[in-house]
Each structure stands twice: as C-alpha cells, then as structure tokens.
Amino acid sequence: MAAAEGAVPLQVGFVGAGRMAEAIARGLIRAGKVEARNVVASAPTNRNLCHFQALGCRTTHANQEVLQSCFLVFLATKPHVLPAVLVEVAPVVTAEHILVSVAGGVPLSTLEELLPPSTRVLRISPNLPCVVQEGAVVMARGRWASNSEAKLLQTLLAACGWCEEVPEAYVDIHTGLGGSGVAFVCAFSEALAEGAIKMGMPSDLAYRIAIQTLLGTAKLLLQDGRHPAQLRMDVCTPGGTTIHGLHALEQGGLRAAAMSAVEAATSRAKELTRK
C-alpha cells in the first residue's frame, strides 16, 4: 500500500512497543504497506523501542507525540495501563484519528467512554504467529468506525496473516481459541513427539517430525478448504494404524479436553473484560 505519487504517505503509530506491536509493525513494513520511516512508536523506556529502531522506525517516550504524528494509531499497552493512557492522549485525539486497541480485556465501550465523542475506534485480537506473518487476527469496530476504516485495517493486517471482522462478543472467544490455542497446539505437538520418543525415536528427530506434521496439515486444510474431519478420514484406512491411534485419543478424552481448554480460556478472558 505504498502511497501513489504525490499522495501523503501512510503514517502509522504505536503507543506501546511490546512484542505484538513489533510483530504488527514488522509485518506492515515487510509487506510494503508502510515505510519504516513513517512508523512512530512510544514506550516509557528504550527496552522495547530498540526493536523499532532496528527496523528503521522513529521512536519517542511521549505518547501524545505519536498521535500528533499519525492518524492511524495502534494502542498496544498492557490492558491495566490502557485506561490511563487513553486519558493522557485524549486531549490530542481529533476527528481524523483511527485508534486500534490491541489490549485484551478492554471493551470498545470503555475505549469510547475515555476518548472524545465520535472517536473512530476498533479493537483487534491478534495471536503470537503474527510474529512470522502467519497470525489469526479478529477485529471489531466501535460505533463510529465505518466500513472504510474496517476495510483499511483488514487490508493492512493481512500483512500479519489472516484478519476477519467479527462481532465484539467473538473477541474473547478468539482469545481462548487463537490466542491461548498456540499453547494448546504446542502441548499437543510435545505429546506427539514424546510418544515417538517412548517408542525409541531420538528426541530431536521426533520434535522435528511432529512440528512439520502440524505445519503440513495446516497448509493442507487451508489450501483445500476442507473440514478437518474430511482430511482425518482420508488418512484412515480400515484396520490401519491411524484408526487404532484415533481410538486411543478418544479413550483419553482428547476432544473433550481440547474443548474444555478453549472454554476455560474464553471464560477467563470474559472475566478480565468485566473487571
């Protein structure tokens, strides 16, 4: 999304410079959506700002300076810090601004309450694979954000992986599925590899095979657009190895445990939102 000749280039700001903010910025820059020199990030110390500086971005310790430089700003602070930051930057928020919250557990209603009336606000929930531009991101818009703002954000965040607009009620569910799900998948891949180690395979090889199997399976599902059950049945043959293994997984309650894990993580996300 490089600016056309004679057009004003897109300026993107980040209030907060943690890992997720860096991942989004890195994705935007790598995909050519924005030039590094047109990215401005703020944080209280240089601890995380050095990562933005390494990308060629501008940095500051003044949050208001970010909003004075950019009309599109990602609010990427810790959730418990965000309300105070909103009060701090509110005096420099204008009708031109589009503010995008990355903070989990802070609803759109709180953002709109602490910002000037009619501020265009959106909320996104990314996950860690955004770091390698393979993330799953959902976004929800506030009352004054229009289709054009939603489309702009969706186009930009495609640089971080996959992005889709959803009702705000789904954001907490995504936290339990796409956010916490990264850890659940890691736990499952560990268990797969450990099964092979138990049967005598060297650990390094077992982990590489387990991880590559997860990657390949995900690509098959995405490229073919099939339901996981279809691919699962393709791998099964009557009386074969896979159906015996699946029987063992069912005996161990894999499906129920996975569903309960997403439910527990989602419930916790909703609790944090209510605080």
78 annotated ligand binder: yes
Q: What is the CATH number of domain 12-169?
A: 3.40.50.720
Q: Do domains 12-169 and 181-274 have the same CATH topology?
A: no
Domain extent listing, the chain = 12-169, 181-274
Give me the pLDDT at residue 104, please: 87
Is 76 known as a binding-site position? yes
Mean pLDDT score across all residues of the chain: 93
Assigned CATH for 181-274: 1.10.3730.10
**Residue 6 has what pLDDT?**
46
Give 10-29 pLDDT, tens digit per residue: 899 999 999 999 999 999 99
Give residue 8's pLDDT: 61
Quote the pLDDT of residue 201: 97
- Kindly report, residue by residue over 223-232, the tens digit of the pLDDT: 989 899 999 9
Taking only the tens place, the pLDDT of each residue in 153-199 is 999 999 999 999 999 999 999 999 999 999 999 999 999 999 999 99
Weakly modelled stretches of the chain, pLDDT under 70? 1-8, 275
pTM comes to 0.87
Identify the pLDDT of residue 51: 93
25 carries a ligand binding annotation: no
3-class DSSP state of 145: coil
- Cα distance between residue 75 and residue 102, in whole Å: 6
